[in-house]
Amino acid sequence: MLPIGCQTYTWEMLGKKWTGKVDDMLSAIAESGYEGVEITNTMIGEYAGRPDEFKEGLIVRGLRLAAFAYASPLGFTEPANRDRELQGAEEALRFLARFPGTPLMLGGPSTPVRERVAEKIGHAAEFYNEVGRRAKSAGVEVAFHPHSHHGSILESREEYEQIMELTDPTLVQWNPDTGHIVRGGQNLLETLRHFRSRIRHMHLKDVDADHRWQPLGQGVCGISAVLKFLEQETEFSGWIVAEEESDSAVDDPHRAIARNREYLKSIGY
């Protein structure tokens, strides 16, 4: 059975409204029945630069680190920002050195102005490949995570084809996200099948027909079919990570992630 983790963006999206600590998130995730956590460079908080203490925090709660996600507000799309963004990636790799076998997820490319898109995707690909080379030397696997938030430039099939062509599959793999694929206007299962050889890590989110975030099982993504595809049509052996961004998660993050875990159990996961 594939391991099920929880992403901490449910709290990150709250911004300054979230005033808790990392341990509060870890406890909520453990109490909700998840096996692991995917945490971001933004939400690592008081554990930044303290991987051994973070590991202890996981162990006492019966959790594992499913992945470490690194994103930059600069979007990986401008060469002028490259050194600063590589420094952040190197910090993530040093943290992951204490978690053998745990992959690094790189956020999708973004820009405040949607122009020169192909060029900017090319810059992002160069960044991903460079991080992939450094990660390979450190024994860490890397994948990129396309999204559909404001500023995203990796949504359409054409854009997916470009990033796949420009990234080295021996260095950089793919972290698909069900909700972002649908919000980007693509057919979810067909997209997963088309790029199946690049899948390293899987995010589950749900959206309705109007592309508004919904709890798992309450949208149009067909979560059960996605999981069956992974088990029956691929050799996927990574983590399934549930992520919650619906309005109900804003009101009660703990209850929202618990409900998602209950849903996954109800369909056999």
DSSP assignments along 1-53, one per residue: ---EEEETHHHHTTGGG----HHHHHHHHHHTT-SEEEEETTTTGGGTT-HHH
pLDDT given for residue 113 in this prediction: 87
Could you count the other beta carbons within 10 Å of the beta carbon of residue 38? 27
Length reported for the chain: 269
Pick the CATH number of 49-240 from 3.40.1160.10, 2.60.120.620, 3.20.20.150, 3.40.50.720: 3.20.20.150
CA–CA distance, 36 with 238 (Å, rounded to integer): 12
The model's pTM is 0.97
Give the pair of three-digit tokens for residue 265: 């159990």
Break the chain into its structural domains and give their ranges: 49-240
Sequence-distant (6+) residues with CB within 8 A of 195 are 160, 164, 174, 176
Q: pLDDT tens digits, the chain, 269 residues: what are they?
A: 899 999 999 999 999 999 999 999 999 999 999 999 999 999 999 999 999 999 999 999 999 999 999 999 999 999 999 999 999 999 999 999 999 999 999 999 999 988 899 999 999 999 999 999 999 999 999 999 999 998 999 999 999 999 999 999 999 999 999 999 999 999 999 999 999 999 999 999 999 999 999 999 999 999 999 999 999 999 999 999 999 999 999 999 999 999 999 999 999 99
Q: Are 110 and 77 in contact (CB under 8 A)?
A: yes
- DSSP-derived letter for residue 199 is B
Give percent of the chain with pLDDT exceeding 90.
98
Could you count the other beta carbons within 10 Å of the beta carbon of residue 156? 13
pLDDT given for residue 82 in this prediction: 97
Give me Rg for the CA atoms of the chain. Answer: 17
